[in-house]
Structure 1
Amino acid sequence: MAGECTVKYPVLLVHGMGFRDGKIGYWGRIPGVLREHGAKVFHGGQDGNASVEYNAGILAVAVDRILKETGAEKVNVIAHSKGGMEIRYLISTMGYGGKIASLTTISTPHNGSVTMDKLMKLPKVLIWTAAKVTDFFHRLTGDRKPDTNACFRQLTREYMTEFNRLNPDDDRVLYRSCAFLMKNAFSDGIMTIPYLGVRALNGCSDGFLTPAEVQHGEFLGVFTGTGRRGISHCDEADLRRRRLSRKPPPDEYHISDITEFYIRLVRELKERGF
């Protein structure tokens, strides 16, 4: 329905780790669909594999630019994965709580990752080498200051315990979070190996994170697909740009097209005066 996403404040989409905003388009069809339904949509533009602190600085510039361009007092943020941590740092450590109306996080590791804890116990030389190789490729794709080693460390439970202590919620901001689940290891071929690893260590997940690891603030629930494949970490950002299933959802926790879920998220913000 046209206009159902005409929210009071513009929507800022903040991507997660490993990708950047650009020609490929991290968010798939989502920005276009939200605009068709009345929302003003912007992108964070931060690095794909930089530290939380560095990316928060880039996001601060983005928020200020959006407010100046639109004349709005605040922005609504929808952040995927590590992007949610960067916005929380921006709000609490950098003092941007007065400029953020709401933060909705999609599978953000607010409580740290058990799987990453295990991976960080691998030989340091192996972790260092993997990080440096990844940094090299991210520089080629446009990252200004990639730091994959910091990204790995910042996903651990130890880091997030301290992060949560240093970055308490701001009373001026509405915090919402949600989790997703793949239904089996073959739900998403790209995520098969990560899913099996997480399943062995910590249970069912979206291929990277379990529901317990992503809950923060007002928890909207655990969502999956209407078909046999469920919803993976990649599906959450519509990286494949297609419907998940043609089977209609039996309830609000089953999704056949991820764009419909984002329309719902923004419509709910509108209904609450955001």
Structure 2
Amino acid sequence: MIMIEICIVLGITIIGLIYLDIAKKINLIHKNIITLFLIIVPHLTLITYFFIIYATHNKISLAFQRIAIFEVIAFAVYLYVKINLFPYSKKLTDKYRLKVLLGGRRITLYGLFTLIIQTIICIYIYSDLIKRLYIPNNILILDIVITMLFTIILITNGMLRLLLTSRRLNIIKRLLVAWMAFIPIVNIFVILYACNLARDEYEHECYKVNIEKTRVDSKICKTKYPFVLIHGVGFRDFKYINYWGRIPKELIRQGATIYYGNQEAFGTVEYNAHDIKNKILSIIKETDCEKVNIIAHSKGGLDARYMISKLDMGKYVASITMISSPHRGVKFVNIACHLPEFIYRGIAKAFDKYFTLLGDRSPDFYTATRQFSTHHSKKFNEEIKDVEGIYYQSYTSVMKNLFSDYILTIPYVFVKLTEGDNDGLVSVDSAKWGEFRGILKNKCSRGISHGDIIDLRRDDYKHFDVIEKYVEIVSELKNKGY
């Protein structure tokens, strides 16, 4: 009779706990409860084995044994399923992607904790149990297999969530993390790396949400004049692949009016200046505005300066903001200019053919690239003077080391050796023009590269928000009356 009462009480207790948990009256996935759960439950096979021995010794009927075991296993399965599906009991965010990401982080950490603690148990406690007690081999093997499956499912579920939802993991990083997550010892560091990325991404999203709450209907980027964004060399303004990443969308959302230069990818400064001039004149005609503001990156700054100075466009431009523009040239290009002429022209011809297919009407790789030399830049600056009444300002960024941006590793080293700190292409001194507003950087070892500053990879960097920086730039121009 006592065993019947125990089974009934145990069953009612388990059902009651599950009901209260579903009704959110209690929290069965509290960290303290889950910590004990992850230590004990993987060894239900051993626990069940010892219970059966005890029950048989005390002559408890097989039916009651099975009922008690079923109740405990059912409760364990409920908790395990809930951990894998709903690891958080509190509502942390309204965004579904972030919910999955955060859940993946917690599940992965649970799996990592289980891996470490169960390894310790197997090495120290298991061996002692085997010496002291006779445990059949099939029970030991089954217990080990279940423990391994218990751990692997947690880690796999968590990592899949992270890999599928994290925006900070690009394709290459996803492949590396997925491959290395199952290499012993190495996987611990890989898992921690992925979990840290997820935490940083969540904190960054919360930061963005808080900023948005303070900007409701503020239109802080609604300037007097529209903006023309002018790209650098080797790119075009495609309809569906934006050179400026997520920046234009956010500026528009904050009230800015945005247009693009639509100049050639490998047009010369002179040729591109005419393209930009025609674009600005069409914008003025379309919007009936008096002037435009220009934000130009890299060679786009040279194209815009030439247009303003040489094509009588000063009266149509209110301000020009230049980001990492090589106003004093790049010594790395000086070295390239000393290549044998037939090699340089051969390379130029191949580029011209390719960019003709992409839409350039008159690509001139040979001339356009040589215009970055320090000799040409010196002559350019002597001839192209700033126009009075236009606000000229400039920014640049720096890479911290040659590993900051693998695409720019070689030019970074050359520019570093010859000119000092640079963003992978343009030195700090070369980027200064007009009112120099400073070097954009973060506190991390990566730094901000020539491509990062235009959100080329659509990545969020720790301690630097490139999108927010452009909002700040445009907001300041608004406050200046532009």
Helix, strand or coil at the partner of 1:222:
strand
Larger radius of gyration: 2
The alignment partner of 2:352 has SS state of helix
1:130 counterpart (347, 368, 371)? 347
**Residue equivalent to 2:470:** 262
In structure 2, the residue matched to 1:164 is 381
1:6 aligns with 2:222: yes
Distance 1:141 1:132 in 2: 15
Look up the match of 1:46.
263
Question: Which digits, 9 at most, give the CA deviation of each residue in 1:82-125, with x for residues without a partner?
Answer: 00111111100000000000010001111111211122122122
C-alpha distance in 2 between matches for 1:226 and 1:151: 35
CA shift for structure 1 position 202: 2.3
Q: Which letter does structure 2 place at the counterpart of 1:264?
A: E
SS in 2 for 1:33: helix
Displacement, 1:65?
Answer: 1.2
Q: What amino acid is aligned across from residue 13 of structure 1 in structure 2? A: L
Q: Does 1:141 align with 2:349?
A: no
Q: 1:82 aligns with which of 299, 302, 321?
A: 299
Instruction: Summarize the alignment of residues 169-208 of structure 1 with structure 2, pairs less than 5 Å apart.
Output: 169-208=386-425
Q: Match for 2:228: what amino acid?
A: L
- Report the Cα offset of residue 216 of structure 1: 0.7
Instruction: Tell me which moved more, 73-82 or 159-168.
Output: 159-168
SS state of the match for residue 104, structure 1?
Answer: strand
**Residues 242 and 257 in structure 1, CA contact (< 8 A), matched pair in contact too:** no
Contact 2:330/2:415, CA 8 A, preserved across alignment = no
Which amino acid is 2:284 matched to? L
SS of alignment partner, residue 444 of structure 2? coil
- 2:441 is paired with a residue whose SS is strand
| Aligned position for 1:272 | 480
Provide the C-alpha distance between the structure 1 equivalents of 2:354 and 2:337, rounded to a whole number of angstroms.
Answer: 21
Counterparts of 1:26 and 1:158, CA distance in 2: 29
Report the AA paired with residue 25 of structure 1: N
Q: Which amino acid in the other structure matches residue 265 of structure 1?
A: I
Partner of 1:103, secondary structure, is strand
Give how far 1:72 is off: 0.8
| 1:244, distance to aligned residue in structure 2 (A) | 1.7
- Give the Cα–Cα distance (whole angstroms) in 2 for the partners of residues 67 and 163 of structure 1: 28
When the two chains are superposed, the root-mean-square deviation of aligned CA atoms in Å is 1.1
Distance 1:148 1:173 in 2: 31
Measure how far apart 1:215 and its partner are: 0.7
1:228 to 445, 466, 469: 445
Partners of 2:424 and 2:223 lie apart in 1 by 32
Q: Tell me, in whole angstroms, the C-alpha distance in 2 between the residues paired with 1:109 and 1:188.
A: 19
Q: Which residue of 1 aligns with 2:317?
A: 100
Q: TM-score, normalised by structure 2?
A: 0.54
User: Residue 155 of structure 1 aligns with which residue?
Assistant: 372
Distance in 1 between residues matched to 2:300 and 2:444, nearest whole Å: 28
Percent identity at matched positions?
42
Distance, in Å, in 2 between the alignment partners of 1:78 and 1:58 is 16
Which of 1 and 2 has higher RCO (CA within 8 Å, sep 6+)?
1
Q: Distance in 1 between matches of 2:442 and 2:347?
A: 33
Q: CA deviation at 1:17?
A: 0.2
How many angstroms does 1:31 deviate by? Answer: 0.5
Name the amino acid aligned to 2:434: G
- C-alpha separation between the residues in 2 aligned to 1:226 and 1:43? 32
How far off its partner does 1:161 sit? 1.3
Q: Structure 1 CA distance, aligned partners of 2:370 and 2:405?
A: 26
Larger helix fraction of residues? 2
Which deviates further from its counterpart, 34-43 or 155-164?
155-164
- How many residue pairs match? The answer is 265
Tell me the TM-score normalised to structure 1 length. Answer: 0.94
The answer to whether the Cα contact below 8 Å between 1:47 and 1:146 also exists between their aligned partners in 2 is yes
- Which ranges of structure 2 fall in alignment gaps of 5 or more residues? 1-214
Is contact 1:85–1:110 with CA below 8 Å preserved after alignment?
A: yes
Secondary structure, counterpart of 2:429 in structure 1: helix
1:244/1:257 contact within 8 Å kept: yes
Q: Post-superposition shift, 1:25?
A: 1.1
Shift of residue 226, structure 1, vs aligned partner: 3.5
Higher mean C-alpha displacement, 70-79 vs 108-117? 108-117
Give the letter aligned to residue 270 of structure 1: K
Structural mapping, 1:211-226, within 5 Å = 211-226=428-443
The answer to whether the Cα contact below 8 Å between 2:349 and 2:365 also exists between their aligned partners in 1 is yes
Instruction: Return the alpha-carbon distance in structure 1 between the equivalents of residues 344 and 262 of structure 2.
Output: 27
User: Distance in 2 between the 1:71 and 1:37 partners?
Assistant: 21
Higher strand proportion (structure 1 or 2): 1
What secondary structure, in the 3-state scheme, does the structure 2 residue paired with 1:269 have? Answer: helix
Shift of 1:203: 2.0
